């Protein structure tokens, strides 16, 4: 007859820990092997922040941003450092609808279209010397979720955007907790 040696409680715990570590490592390796093209590098995130979206897959970056708070935070820091204008959160909301914004060197106000009452002009006024802009408006919410909106170049220091009342841009500008940045 053969004798089976019973493991001590400490040996069993060490064996469980080793198994758990090996299973976790195997799971990470399988994910890397199955989706190496889905990985988002800091370079890709930087290009996304700069609006240079021609060279990589936007869907992968937005999927990664949706699931990774650290990546959203990194994107916010990149945009904040490169932004020419930054408004911060709105001080107070005076009712429903978009909130006028004021920042260092610019302001945002709104005007209902006279031809189509369901449309609103977003008017961005740049004050003083106007730096070279990338013409991108970034809006961050409390969870660092970012939406970017392309803008036309300023004309006499003013950028106008015509949107409908149900446009996501107007919805985000109606939230006093959002931060607005121009690049």
The tens digit of pLDDT for each residue in 79-131 reads 888 888 888 666 655 567 788 888 888 899 999 999 988 999 999 998 877 77
Q: What is the mean pLDDT of residues 13-21?
A: 80
Q: Which DSSP string do the residues of 48-61 spell out, in sequence order? A: HHTT--SSS-HHHH
Q: How sure is the predictor about 31, in pLDDT bands with cuts at 50, 70 and 90?
A: low
How far apart, in whole angstroms, are the C-alpha atoms of residue 71 and residue 48? 12
């Amino acid at each position: 007859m053969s004798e089976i040696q019973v493991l001590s409680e400490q040996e069993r715990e060490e064996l469980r820990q080793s198994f758990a570590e090996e299973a976790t490592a195997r799971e990470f390796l399988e994910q890397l092997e199955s989706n190496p093209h889905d990985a988002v590098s800091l370079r890709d995130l930087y290009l996304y922040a700069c609006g240079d979206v021609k060279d990589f897959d936007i869907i992968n970056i937005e999927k990664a941003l949706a699931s990774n708070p650290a990546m959203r935070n990194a994107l916010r820091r990149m945009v904040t450092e490169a932004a020419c204008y930054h408004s911060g959160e709105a001080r107070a909301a005076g009712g429903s609808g978009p909130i006028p914004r004021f920042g260092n060197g610019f302001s945002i106000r709104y005007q209902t279209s006279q031809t189509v009452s369901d449309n609103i002009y977003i008017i961005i006024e740049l004050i003083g010397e106007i730096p070279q802009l990338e013409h991108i408006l970034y809006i961050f919410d409390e969870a660092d979720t970012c939406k970017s909106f392309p803008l036309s170049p300023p004309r006499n220091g003013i950028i106008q955007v015509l949107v409908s009342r149900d446009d996501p841009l107007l919805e985000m500008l109606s939230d006093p907790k959002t931060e607005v940045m121009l690049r």
